[in-house]
Each structure stands twice: as structure tokens, then as C-alpha cells.
Chain A
Amino acid sequence: MGERRRAHPYIPNSQTQVQEEMMREVGITDTEELFSGIPEDLRYKGKMDLPRAILSEEGLSRHMEDLLSGNKTTKECLSFLGAGCYQHYVPAICDEVASRSEFLTSYAGEPYEDHGRFQALFEYQSMMAELLDMDVVNVPTYDWCQAAATAVRMAGRITQRNAILVAGNINPQRLLAIKNYADPAMTVEKVGYDANTGCVDVSDLVAKLTRNVAAVYFENPNYFGLIETMGQKIAEIAHENGSLMLVGVDPITLGVLAPPSHYGADIVVGDIQTLGIHMNYGGGVAGFVASHDKEEFVAEYPSRLFGIAQTEVEGEWGFGDVLYDRTSFAKREMGKEFVGTAAALWGITAGVYLALMGPLGMIEVGETIMRNSAYAAKKIGGIEGIQIHGFQSHFFKEFAVNFDKTGLTVEKVNRELLSRGIFGGKDISQEFPELGQTAIYCVTEVHRRNDVLLLCDALEEIVHGAEGGRSR
């Protein structure tokens, strides 16, 4: 670095002259002196095996574009994948706000210079609260996994019990995350699902309910896409036992479906990815936790909860952290679980989505989704040998498609679909072997009748040979 050289565009003080000036102020003649606090044997002197820097922005862009061209997206193929990450329409204003410099690059400012960040997140909490019909919603946590796991730990602390019953028809990834997060404080036991309805097996729930059970957790819609109808009953059973009811929910269903608070949920969790956030290869997820405004519940949240307040100027709003002393920021290991950088920007974005959609938009999107998915299920189910779930229940946007009678595996079907530019539904034959060769198909407002017919043609062809493809 001896020669005089120009600065790196991201590092203004990489200019030799400036460095010399600053070193004079510090009282050193070589920047090496700055690292004298590191013992010699800990200094890494080796060469790192890193590619040569691409200094030009154009060159970097070309390099990245080349790499990214190795991806085929859901915009380039026809996708019926769901199972925890969903293709929904993202309004332009959502992207506009989420990419604003101020929101994108702020972090932990005070409620003064970051008033807007606090207000945007308070409003997100408030709009989610309307959708959920509950009075408390947190600043987003990482995702639905974390939200569910946190709800479980909250329930443990609130009830002072250490067992949890989890519906066997939830997303298996979530179950894994809950188990890791509960261990070792709480035990997690699965409750079966009813073979006819695909919904929670209430008699199995009753059989497993002990005085140790802090809470019962189920998801609505469940992993098979089915709408749980026994919520009220489960709440009664849980509450009678002194247990809480925790429900995971996809918020985009709530223009049409009753929010879990209406059938007795004590804590509601879920993912806001469906509310205006791109899938991002699964990086678009963000979790919410909601409850009623009871002190014993609020006191158990690990997350930040932004509250509204007045300033010393009449009529001026300010914001701040409600019960900050709960958090690990304030109390380290004595705080509730932990809090850190999670998914705030997605919270702001979901707020924008709800503000854009309004009450009518949320109803309409739910209706479109239900119509499109019902249509797709009907058409797919019309293909000989292919069965739609077989569960006697309603679904929202996902449904189980069974290929047992075709003699084909889902893997084979999906490979064939891929060669036709289609991503078939999520293969769950490993996760739920008792359901045979089953895939979860997801259809939303972004699908068209023609997309469904293209899929059906392809399936016909795959299942019955080339001649089988029916004309549209």
C-alpha cells in the first residue's frame, strides 16, 4: 500500500494523503501500529483464497447478472408451490416504500430522528390488530417459525407449565423450529389429525391433555391447506384445562376467514410474507405475534412493542418502547427470551399492503384466491387417476393432490412438469408417508384459468401419455 493511489469508492479515507493526515492526529506513522493490541500469533498473515476484486460497477453488474441468469423464476415458469412461502401480487407502492433510502438504511435511531420508523411500525401493529381483531401486535420477529416458538415459550411462562401440544398437521419446518426453541424448557408432543377431515383430531387432543399442558398450538389453514373448523371446540377444551390456545394463521386469509381471536385464541402468530413481500427464495418471511391487551401477556413478549404517547407539545404524537424492561436489551439473560435484528422492514411493507388493500381489498383477494384454487382443484381432480386430498374439509389456497392411482411418484410427476416449464406442488410424500404420493398445490390471485388448464394438460400428458392431453 506504499504507492499513492486513489480511494476505493466505498472507502473515502483509503486515500493515502488523508490517511497520513489522520495518522498524524492519532500519533502513528504506520496503520500497522493500530493493531498492536492483537498478539503476533493471532495475526493472520496468510493469503486468503478470494477472487480478484471487480472494481468497476459495470463489471460487477455483469458478473452478478451472469450468476443470476442461472435462476429460473416463478415469473419465467408456472409455479404451484406454496407450503410456507407464497406467490401473491406485490403492489408497486410496497416496493416503492420498502426501497426508500430512509427505511432501507435506518436501524436503531431514537423516536425523535426516527419518528417515521416508529410510526410506520406502530401503524403496522395497528393494522394487523384490525385484521386479527386483537389489541397487541409486536414489531415483526424473524418468521412464523420464531413467532410460533415464542408463543409456546410465552404460554409456558404465563401458565407456569412446561408441556405443549402441537397439531400433527402443521408445517414440519415449523415443528422442527418449535422443538429446538422449546428444548430443554418444554416438551413438545404431537396431536394427530383426523384421517377424514385432515383437521385436528379432537379426541386425541383430549387424550393427551394433562395439567402440564401450557398450550395447544395449531395452524389455520393447516399444512394441507385445510381450514380448521374445530377452533371453538379446541379453545373450550384447552381453556377448561387451564391451557392457552395458540393459533398460527396466514393473514391473507383474514378478509374472508374469521380471525382466531373469534374462536378463542389467546395468542395468534403467523407470517406476513403474504402481505406485499416478495418470496426472495424464502428470505421474504417475517413473523407476527398478537394477543389481547392483558398485562400478564404483554409482559411476556420478547419483541419490541412500539406504543404511542404524547410529547410535551400539545397534540403532537410521539412513540416509544412499551415495557422495555422486559427485553434482553434491558436485562440480558434475565429478559424474556431475546430480541435483535429481525424483519422490521417487512413489517413496514406489510403495513403499506394493508393500507393499500383496505377492508374491501382484503375481502376481494380472499375471494379471488378461493375461487381460483377451487377451480384448479376441480380441474386437477377431473384428471383420471388424480385425487384431490380426499379430506372432507374446505381449503383456502392450497390443497393436497394425490397421485397414488397413477402409479407415478410425485417426484417423477414434478420432474416431468419441470421439463414443461411448470413447478408442480410441494412433494410431501417424505414428510407425510401415510398420505402416499401427495403434493401440496398452491393457487392464488396471480394464477389464471389458462395457467390451470396448462397444468392440467401437462398432467394429463404425464399421467396418460401424450395423446391424453385434452384440448381447451
Chain B
Amino acid sequence: MKRERPLLRRGFHQAKWDEPIIFELSIPGQRAICVQEAEDDVIDEVGNPWENLPEVVRRKSPPTLPELSQAQVLRHYLHLSQETLGADVNIEIGQGTCTMKYSPKVNERFASSSKIEDLHPNQPSETVQGVLEIMYKTDLFLRELSGLDRFSFQPGGGSQAALGMASIMRAYQKSRNEEQDRDEIITTIFSHPSNAAASAVKGFRVVTIYPDENGYPDLEALKNAVSQRTAGLIVTNPEDTGVFNPRIREFTQIVHEVGGLCGYDQANANGILGITRAKEAGFDMCFFNLHKTFSSPHGCGGPGSGALGVRKDLERFLPVPIVDFDGKKYSLNYDLPDSIGKIKMFYGGIPAVVRAYAWMMSLGEDGLREVAKVAVLNSNYLLSRIKKIKGVHIPYAPGEHRFEQVRYSWAPLTEETTITTEDVQRRMCDFGLHYWTSHHPWIVPEPFTLEPTESWSKEELDEYVEALEEVSREAYECPEVLRNAPHRSVVHKISQDWFDDPSKWAITWRSYLKKHSV
């Protein structure tokens, strides 16, 4: 039986170990592991090969690494892990645009089985039929979810997949002898920053479309932006605001009409799985982040996978190799004459592909649609509750439902109390919760973006809402609590003047010792 209880964890305090920097724990002479030595027969036969090396290539003094016993190393890292709040530990709905969902533990078994970990990428294909089948079938599944015709798993994340798209746009325009003339890629301001940044790496001028007054990408602005200089369009949809661009097909039509290609950033496809697809929206390419929508864990920021898919006629530009199946055997195909070459070594983030495959197998078609439905329901439930919190404003798309995430604003709160979204950020961790502001630039003032995914229960969503309610109350009643937060996190407010001053910044411990030793 359940008792009535407040959901907010007021007594929370995160683990705080005051953990020294690992170099401070070093005791000369300690060791954490013994290394396998060459066998006597081997030594007898070859002696010390490094002694024949020219003096100039030999290391003169040992690297000054810390020296610890084995259990000490373990304890140190376990302390650090406890001082980290992963998605397994908290109600990780505060990191909008990133689809922090549950990563099923059973999938870790597959990804970390010897059958994956101990495979070398250059093994003969007959010895890797299992992993190739997983890659091929994951490709097939993603084709169904996108309507496109072929996926590469080579990009290591969404940003690298965006680079892949921009590279294909350049190669495509080159194949039509239009590379010199077509030097612009169009994006929207609420598309991920990497769509713009990766386009710039490929030498394109970036044209950014801003929203109209209702928060939808401005169609008129797009019409004005396209020209014979347009190489393509790369946009995120639903946008970072959780608004779906309903005129997306018109966008792709307009870009196609001037001879551009269209790339769809589906890094977060969580709200639209099986609901709407890249193909029907008129896109030539798209990418899915397997570490977001498809449940592979984020690993502190990778390794992940940005699965890059294209229409049939663009297959020839994909990075090599792609996985083929002739009905009997799976193989790697390097024979793509117009390939952009390599984006990444080998075939990409294979463990993420294995997990994504297993995750889709555990859901099937109905399950995947249920994911989208519940992710959007959860998001709108949060929206409905947060709307009632004092100091919150919800810009754009008035009266419309949102998709898997919502961009909120504390603008009224800041105006009335001077408490900012960054103050809120530092306070939320006092309740054992992670909270992120939003990507820059902050077109929406004092923003925060929540994406509850399908992974958290209603009660957990309610707990997060209670924390926001409490923060709002404090802002109006006792703002100092917020200004000085955090109080119960691992560390206290960090002095920011260490990060931009070259005489002060220390990116490594040795640099700290050089600059700050007394």
C-alpha cells in the first residue's frame, strides 16, 4: 500500500567525497597492475630491441603518471562515478533535445559480449556474419522508419552525420558541375547548432531562417533565401522548441525547385517514430542518433552513432563501406565510385548499433509507435502542469500541442525576481535532478527545454514538476537560496573567471601546477 508522500526529495544530498585529483593520491612505488612480460625464450632470442633504437626516438624519462594500488584506482573512480548523476540515477528529463531515455541493461550484455568487443574490423567477412547481419537489419529497420533507402553507421554522432550530409551535398553538386556556384546551406535557428557548424566546415555559407511570430520556421524567409546558390537545406524537425514545422513539405519543395538537396536532422525522432517520415516530407537524406531515440546510452558524451540515410540515387555518395546482403552472405561494399570517402575509421559506433537493434526488436512496430505516443503525451502532460507555475512563459504555437519536448521560458520570473534560468539550473541539482538551459543563442529568453521521453512514469514527472514549483516559490520568497545554489550538490558555486583567462586557465593538472603553485 502506498502512503501519501511529497514527491520532492528535500533531504537529498549528492555523494560528496572531496575527491583529490588523482595525481595527489600517487605514492611512488605503488602499482595497480602487472604487465605481461615477454617469455624467456623470446627474450633470449631478441634481447632488448629498444636498445637498438636511435637515441633520438627513445623516451628519456618515464611519463609522470600517478602511481596507485589497484583498489585505490577503483575507489577513486567509484567516488567520481558517485559524484555523477546519470540517466540511470535521476529523472533525466531536463536535457531537452537529447532524448535521455532508459537504456535497457540487457542490451549492455550484447554490446559488451566478447562476440562484439573482441572483433577486429578487418576480420574476414565470413567471421563477422553476426555483426554484419545486425548492421544490415538495423539499416532495414531505419529504412522503414524514414522511408529512405540506405543507411551508413559510420558517423560517430549527430554532428558527424550532419557533416556527412553537407559532404554529400558538396559531392552531389560537384557531380553536376555546380560545386562552385552552390555555396549556401539553409537551416533554421531552432535546428541543432551542428547543422550550421558542420555545413560551414564543408565550406558553405550558412543562411539561417528565423521563426515567424508563432514560432514556425518562416516560409516567406525561406522563399527569399533560396537561389541558384542554394546547395541544400539541413533542418531539425520537430525543432528544438518541440514545434513541428507543418509546412515542411513546402520547404523541401522550394529547395528542390532551385536544385538543392534536403537533409533531415532526425537525431530526436522520438516523438514521430512511425508517425511521420523523412520520405513523405520530401527529404533526400536524414540521420537518426542511435544514442538518443534508439536507447544507446550517452556515455558522458559518446561513443554514439549518427546513422545517416539517403535516397537510392544518393547511395553512391555514402562513406565507404556499406553493408550488402546477397541473400546468403553479408559483406562490406567499398565499391561506391562517388563516395565522399571516410567520415570516421571503420564502420562507426558498433556497440550503439547492437543496442539499437536489440531495442527495436524488443518493441516492434506497435511498440515503436507507442514510444512516440507516450513520449508526446508525457511532454504535453508536463506542459500542462508547468503552464500553471508562476514565472513560466511558454512561447510559440499558442493552443497547439507540442511534440517530444517543449522550450519554456522563465522570462517573467527573471523580470519579477531577477532569478535567472542559470540560478534555477544550480538549484535543481539540490533535489537530485538535472536541468539544462538550452542551446545558444537564447532567442527564447531565460530558456529551459524538457524532454520527458517515454521512460519516466507519471509520478516521476510529477516529482520534477514539484521541484520546479518549489524553485518558483523560492524565487519569489527567498531568492538568495537560488542565487547561492547549489547547497546539496557535489560542489558549490564555481568561480567562472578561471576559464577565459590564459594566465589562469588550466586544462591539465601539470598546467595547474605551473600556473597556480605557490
Question: Does B476 interact with chain A (Cβ within 8 Å)?
Answer: no
Question: Does A410 interact with chain B (Cβ within 8 Å)?
Answer: no
- In the complex, what distance in Å separates the CA atom of A209 from the CA atom of B70? 50
Q: Which residues of B contact A84 (CB under 8 A)?
A: 121, 345-346
**Cβ distance B54 to chain A, nearest Cβ, rounded Å:** 5
Question: Does B268 interact with chain A (Cβ within 8 Å)?
Answer: no
- A345 with B50: in contact, given A101-B88, A321-B499 (CB under 8 Å)? no
- A112 with B104: in contact, given A53-B364, A375-B42 (CB under 8 Å)? no
Question: Does A342 interact with chain B (Cβ within 8 Å)?
Answer: yes
Contact with B along A25-61 (1 / 0, CB 8 A): 1111001011111110111100111111111010011
Within 8 A of A (CB), among B90-132: 90, 92, 95, 98, 100, 102-104, 106, 108-110, 112-124, 126-131
- In the complex, what distance in Å separates the CA atom of A374 from the CA atom of B119? 25
- A360 with B206: in contact, given A113-B489, A341-B302, A342-B302 (CB under 8 Å)? no
Contact with B along A335-367 (1 / 0, CB 8 A): 101111111111110001011111111111111
**Cβ distance B488 to chain A, nearest Cβ, rounded Å:** 10
Contact with B along A104-145 (1 / 0, CB 8 A): 111111111111110111110111011101011101101111
- A42 with B508: in contact, given A229-B56, A354-B65, A361-B33 (CB under 8 Å)? no
Q: Which residues of B contact A330 (CB under 8 A)?
A: 440
- In the complex, what distance in Å separates the CA atom of A317 from the CA atom of B392? 33
> Which residue of chain A lies nearest to B301 when distances are taken between CB atoms in the complex?
A344
Q: Are A355 and B68 in contact (CB under 8 A)?
A: yes
A-B contact pairs, 24 of them (CB 8 A): A10-B362, A26-B383, A42-B248, A74-B120, A79-B123, A85-B346, A101-B88, A105-B89, A113-B90, A120-B300, A126-B22, A130-B510, A145-B345, A179-B341, A181-B201, A184-B170, A229-B57, A283-B347, A283-B349, A307-B505, A328-B194, A341-B301, A348-B300, A370-B49
- In the complex, what distance in Å separates the CA atom of A70 from the CA atom of B486? 51
Q: Given known contacts A39-B246, A255-B59, A285-B344, what 6 new A-B pairs fall within 8 Å (CB)?
A: A63-B361, A84-B121, A127-B66, A344-B301, A344-B302, A358-B32
Within 8 A of B (CB), among A246-260: 254-259
Q: Are B116 and A332 in contact (CB under 8 A)?
A: no
Question: Does A73 interact with chain B (Cβ within 8 Å)?
Answer: yes
Ranked 9 nearest A-B pairs via Cβ: A282-B346, A340-B159, A53-B364, A70-B130, A282-B121, A116-B83, A345-B299, A328-B197, A318-B494
User: Which of A92-100, A210-218, A236-244, A460-468 is the interface stretch?
Assistant: A92-100
Identify which of B41, B42, B58, B508 gathers the most chain A CB atoms within 10 Å of its CB.
B508
Which of B92, B303, B439, B495 sits near A346, CB closer than 8 Å?
B303
Q: Are B196 and A279 in contact (CB under 8 A)?
A: no
Contact with A along B343-360 (1 / 0, CB 8 A): 111111111111000101
Which of B62, B83, B92 sits near A359, CB closer than 8 Å?
B62
Contact with A along B24-38 (1 / 0, CB 8 A): 000000111101111
Question: Does B407 interact with chain A (Cβ within 8 Å)?
Answer: no
Q: Are B303 and A33 in contact (CB under 8 A)?
A: no
- In the complex, what distance in Å separates the CA atom of A117 from the CA atom of B243? 32
Q: Are B86 and A123 in contact (CB under 8 A)?
A: no
Q: Are B300 and A176 in contact (CB under 8 A)?
A: no
Question: Does B500 interact with chain A (Cβ within 8 Å)?
Answer: yes
Q: Which residues of A contact B158 (CB under 8 A)?
A: 340-341
Q: Which residues of B contact A255 (CB under 8 A)?
A: 59, 62-63
**Cβ distance A103 to chain B, nearest Cβ, rounded Å:** 5
**Cβ distance B504 to chain A, nearest Cβ, rounded Å:** 9
**Cβ distance A427 to chain B, nearest Cβ, rounded Å:** 9
Q: Are A105 and B298 in contact (CB under 8 A)?
A: yes
- In the complex, what distance in Å separates the CA atom of A116 from the CA atom of B384? 34
Q: Are B49 and A338 in contact (CB under 8 A)?
A: no
Q: Which residues of A contact B495 (CB under 8 A)?
A: 309-312, 318
- A44 with B276: in contact, given A305-B507, A340-B159 (CB under 8 Å)? yes
Question: Does A448 interact with chain B (Cβ within 8 Å)?
Answer: yes
**Cβ distance A147 to chain B, nearest Cβ, rounded Å:** 10
> Which residue of chain A lies nearest to B360 when distances are taken between CB atoms in the complex?
A50
Give the tally of cross-chain contacts (CB within 8 A). Answer: 720
Question: Does B371 interact with chain A (Cβ within 8 Å)?
Answer: yes
Q: Are A14 and B374 in contact (CB under 8 A)?
A: yes
Question: Does A8 interact with chain B (Cβ within 8 Å)?
Answer: yes
Identify which of A298, A305, A356, A423 gathers the most chain B CB atoms within 10 Å of its CB.
A356
Q: Which residues of A contact B68 (CB under 8 A)?
A: 355, 358
- In the complex, what distance in Å separates the CA atom of A345 from the CA atom of B291? 13
Q: Are A281 and B128 in contact (CB under 8 A)?
A: yes
- In the complex, what distance in Å separates the CA atom of A4 from the CA atom of B496? 53
Within 8 A of A (CB), among B1-31: 14, 18-19, 21-23, 30-31
Q: Are B350 and A362 in contact (CB under 8 A)?
A: no
- In the complex, what distance in Å separates the CA atom of A281 from the CA atom of B199? 29
- In the complex, what distance in Å separates the CA atom of A324 from the CA atom of B498? 12
Q: Are A263 and B248 in contact (CB under 8 A)?
A: no
**Cβ distance A301 to chain B, nearest Cβ, rounded Å:** 9
Q: Are A107 and B300 in contact (CB under 8 A)?
A: yes
Which of A13, A60, A176 sits near B362, CB closer than 8 Å?
A60
Question: Does B394 interact with chain A (Cβ within 8 Å)?
Answer: no
Which of A93, A133, A177, A357 sits near B343, CB closer than 8 Å?
A177
Q: Are A79 and B120 in contact (CB under 8 A)?
A: yes
User: Which of A16-24, A200-208, A383-391, A401-409 is the interface stretch?
Assistant: A16-24
